[in-house]
Amino acid sequence: MRFDQLNLSEERLAAIEALGWTAPTPIQAKAIPSGLEGKDVVGIAQTGTGKTAAFMIPALERLKVGGGFQVLVLCPTRELAVQVAEDTEALAKGTSVRVHAIYGGVGYGPQNKALQAGYEVIVATPGRFIDHLHQGRADLSAVTYLVLDEADRMLDMGFRPQIEQVMRGMPSTRQTMLFSATMPHGVHDLALRITREALWIEAARSGTTAEGIEEIFYSVKPEKKPDLLLEMLADPAWDQVLVFTRTKAGADVLEARLQREGIKTDVMHSNRQMKERTRALDRFASGKVRVLVATDIAQRGLDVEGISHVVNYDVPLDPEDYVHRIGRTGRAGATGTAVTFVTALDLGALKTLEYRLGRTVERVHLPEFDYAGTPQTEQRSAARRGSKSRAPHGLGSRAAEDLTPEELEELLNLGRG
């Protein structure tokens, strides 16, 4: 299927062509026709599948230019709201449609003006939008198109009360689209309550990762993590790298270490002001910095083309967070590599992660970094199962096959010792 087979306006097709798109992604091919017909849609798809265009193309095609505030998109984070607004502006190119992103951490002035002027499309985080609603600056009476993007994340962040308040103010005659990477009970219940005779679309099994992403787990001692990352960054193929840490303090420490080693690095977390975070993202997207170190604030909504590698510097506590983190690479059909650093204390979380993923992920043991601490462990494993030679990403190493439960326990005891 091609976009020109979807009965889109000439302006929309021209905007799509300017973006370099030729064929819709699976989620777009399924959602856009129903959206154009005015049907409600519930979409399940992982990040990087083109969800924004799946819900915004029908909205832009159906709204009335100059008709005031008609489209509301709710997003969990400021970064995602900004990204969706920018993508919407690109899709609205050649028209007079006005778009504005509303989120916390910045002044109210421009947001008030956009609401008072009746911008057709508002992309907002729930908390700040409710502030405008309570102050009487946001009028939902003419909104005919509602989108909940990353619904699972919004509920995880505690935005259910705000979403419920928005729903109470929405006209009963509206079109609703809800998109979520996973479908836990809370999201499923919400989708059933706010949509009517919705088309349910599953572009990928809930919790799966996008195709084209190579996943590798590296065994490492905690104190050796910076050295292992520096070893990997010595490979020129690691040209645009997103590194996730568990804590804001950890992100700052790692950024300082990489800067000392001469690697252009920036950091992004909630302790940084919005202008600093925006600057960091812009510098990373433009290639001015090679490495962006971030907490989970960037695991969703960060849509940067060309990220070659994602590094889980710390194992995510939630398996779903793992899916969203590594989804920052391998986007829109591209390929990428996701690396996770695993210490001895992470073995329990690792087993849980693989169970939830429904597959095992390749493990690599480098004697100089391995939490087991001795080359003999690798040799013993090779003797039992046979090992394959591998030099991943420029590193001379031998990759062990999946360990048996007995060997995992043995390595855990060694790591604790």
- Identify the burial level of 96 via C-beta atoms within 10 angstroms of its C-beta, where 0-12 means exposed, 13-18 middle and 19 or more buried: exposed
Q: How far is CA 252 from CA 12, 224, 264, 304, 338, in A?
A: 43, 17, 14, 21, 21
pLDDT confidence of residue 371 = 82
pLDDT confidence of residue 376 = 38
Domains along the sequence of the chain with CATH = 3-202 (3.40.50.300), 213-416 (3.40.50.300)
Whether 214 and 393 have beta carbons less than 8 Å apart is answered as no
Whether 220 and 341 have beta carbons less than 8 Å apart is answered as yes
Residue 280: φ, ψ to 5°? -60, -45
- pTM, whole model, 2 decimals? 0.62
pLDDT confidence of residue 223 = 94
Whether 251 and 293 have beta carbons less than 8 Å apart is answered as yes
Whether 343 and 349 have beta carbons less than 8 Å apart is answered as no
Sheet containing 145-148: order of strands: 99-102, 121-124, 71-74, 145-148, 175-180, 41-44, 199-202
Tell me how far apart the alpha carbons of residues 349 and 354 are, in angstroms, rounded to a whole number.
Answer: 9
Beta bridge partners of 249: none
Residue 243: φ, ψ to 5°? -115, 125
Tell me how far apart the alpha carbons of residues 207 and 215 are, in angstroms, rounded to a whole number.
Answer: 15
Residue 145: φ, ψ to 5°? -140, 115
pLDDT confidence of residue 190 = 94
Tell me how far apart the alpha carbons of residues 17 and 12 are, in angstroms, rounded to a whole number.
Answer: 9
Residue 195 structure tokens: 């949509």
Which residue is associated with the tokens 């997207």?
285
Closest to 71 in 3D by CA, of 83, 90, 85: 85
pLDDT confidence of residue 277 = 81
Q: How far is CA 110 from CA 77, 119, 162, 179, 275, in A?
A: 19, 12, 22, 28, 15
DSSP one-letter code for 270: T
Digits of tens for pLDDT over the chain (417 positions)?
899 999 999 999 999 999 999 899 889 999 999 999 999 999 987 666 789 999 999 999 999 999 999 999 999 988 889 999 999 999 999 999 999 999 998 899 999 999 999 999 999 999 999 999 999 999 999 999 999 999 988 988 889 999 999 999 999 999 999 999 888 888 999 999 999 999 999 875 444 455 578 889 999 999 999 999 999 999 999 999 999 998 899 999 999 999 999 999 999 887 888 778 888 888 998 889 999 999 876 555 566 667 889 999 998 877 777 877 887 776 555 678 999 999 999 988 888 888 877 888 888 999 899 887 544 334 333 333 333 333 344 444 333 334 444 444 444 444 434
